[in-house]
Amino acid sequence: MPELPEVETIVRELRKKIIGLKITDVWVDRPKIVKQAGGIKKFSKQIKNKKILNVRRRAKYIIMEVEGKKTIFIHQKISGHLLYGKWIPLEAARVRSAPLPLTGWKSVVKGPLQDDKKNGYLRFILYLNNGYQLGLSDLRRFGKVILIDDEKIKDLKEISGLGPEPLEIKFKDFKKLFKNKKRKIKQVLMDPAFIAGIGNIYADEVLWSSDIHPLSRTENLNERDFKKIYSNIVKILKKAIEYGGSSTDDYRMPSGRKGRFQEFQNAYQKTGQKCKKKDGGIIKRLKLAGRSAHFCDKHQILK
């Protein structure tokens, strides 16, 4: 699932492309992607000819503000990512003797939108008045879109229980979050009710850089540990945003290109490799609450 840096990258790229444009039409491959009363027909009626005013992020979610009193909420889920480009229907692609796409659409923009299979599973398209489209490619079909009243966005179940944003919280407030917390540190960092947007990739990277074993108990950590965790959260998330996020799996940028942060990962999906700290350790993998945790068996200390 795209984590904070991936979603932030998407939002920043889309702000450059779609703010001020009007939505002229919508297409979905299956109606159930739109999760609201009235379904796709009502959704389409309410967004047509509406200008896009802003695109922002909350945790791992994309919030698109449009004219009027409605907001488009997008959850990309496990394999979804928003793309900005131009596509033609499969029948038109056949007429042009182009290679057949993975679903019913063919990108007319050359490069990764056309060549990378991860970008070929279009499930949802917004048509824009500049001739371009905003599409959701989603191999697993778990993504969803909701059109909701502006004042109710904060009450969505995905939003209402979220913890603070990790790039906005100060250290003293971050430390307070751990008061009375008695859990394994990686589980805590991945809990969106504790702090928003840190998933599997970045929890592994933060703990590797902080010399802390993912199974360490939060009640056993000291002031120095908390400072290291906080500092590395900020540093690693900012670096990941700088490099467009991590494309170790399905995620791609709106251009269809891969992010580059996977080139700098030290723990996530590095099982069996020598630790980059050259401490003689090997990156190992364990299961934690149904998820994988990657860590160095030398410098990451179990507390």
pLDDT at 91: 67
Residues in the chain where the model's pLDDT stays below 70: 91-103
> Considering the chain, what percentage of its residues have pLDDT values greater than 70?
96
* Answer CATH for 4-160 from 3.90.1150.10, 3.40.50.300, 3.20.190.10, 3.40.50.720: 3.20.190.10
Instruction: From 225, 247, 223, 246, select the one nearest 236 (Cα to Cα).
Output: 246
CATH number attached to the domain at 171-296: 1.10.8.50
| Per-residue model confidence (pLDDT) at position 264 | 97
The pLDDT of residue 103: 63
pLDDT recorded at residue 123: 94
In the chain, domain spans: 4-160, 171-296
What's phi and psi for 143, nearest 5 deg?
Answer: -60, 155
The H-assigned helical ranges of the chain are 4-18, 39-47, 90-95, 112-115, 157-160, 171-176, 185-189, 200-210, 223-242
Catalytic residues: 2-3, 60, 291
pLDDT in the model for residue 104: 81
Give the pTM.
Answer: 0.93
* Distance (Å, whole) CA 198 – CA 59: 8
CB within 8 Å of 293: residues ≥ 6 apart: 186, 203, 204, 214, 215, 285, 286, 287
